[in-house]
Structure 1
Amino acid sequence: AGTMGGDSQPQIVAQLLGRVLASGESVGEAVAAPRWRLHPGETGFGTWHGPYEVDVELEAGAPWSAGLAERGHAVAQTEAGSGFGHAHLIEIDAEGHAVGAADPRAETGTVACTS
């Protein structure tokens, strides 16, 4: 698993791995799914260096907005691909085949298949 995204990188990788390993999604489903990130505002970096209010940014299509707001989180909706990195993921399936997915948020992407 790998991604661009500055301070969002560990958050995105955790989401990808959680979707594949805990939820059983395919690598393609996991990479294409809406993402969230903790974001300190205009600076774009410094998420881990508070103290200041951190908003939870959700990509368009993410289903968690109401639940997070009910729990007191400041939630912002953003366009898909807006600061959420370009992730790529490769998995070795039960038969030993490599299965990969390139992020649809990127303008280009390549997947190499081996048999």
Structure 2
Amino acid sequence: MTTGAGTLTIEETFLRPQALPPPPTRHALFAILIVLAALLHLGTIGIGDLYSETEGQYAAAAREMIQTGQYFLPTNDSIPRLQKPPLLYWLIIASYKLFGVHTAATRVPIAVAVVAT
């Protein structure tokens, strides 16, 4: 940019301290945004049935792992489900043991992961 009356250099344009609020305000706004996202996401996880085919398959495999006691080989209707590592199944099982076997408990591990990221 030219350096005349009323013009700014690139450094002045992009590094102007007035462009952003002070750090404590930014951190507070970010924290409020995270809390709102958590409330919206975690507050609605028990509404409705399982949405997709895969959500039902994960839930059924976790339930079957509890029933059979076989925690290292996830199966659904006795058919092995080896497409993914078993961590998600284990997290769903832990959620089932904490909250009981229902739709919201199936979604808790994913909801916590969404809010955490």
Q: TM-score scaled to structure 1, two decimals?
A: 0.27
Higher strand share: 1
Instruction: Choose between structure 1 and 2 for higher RCO, CA contacts under 8 A separated by at least 6 residues.
Output: 1
Q: TM-score scaled to structure 2, two decimals?
A: 0.27
User: Who wins on radius of gyration, i.e. which is larger?
Assistant: 2
Higher helix share: 2
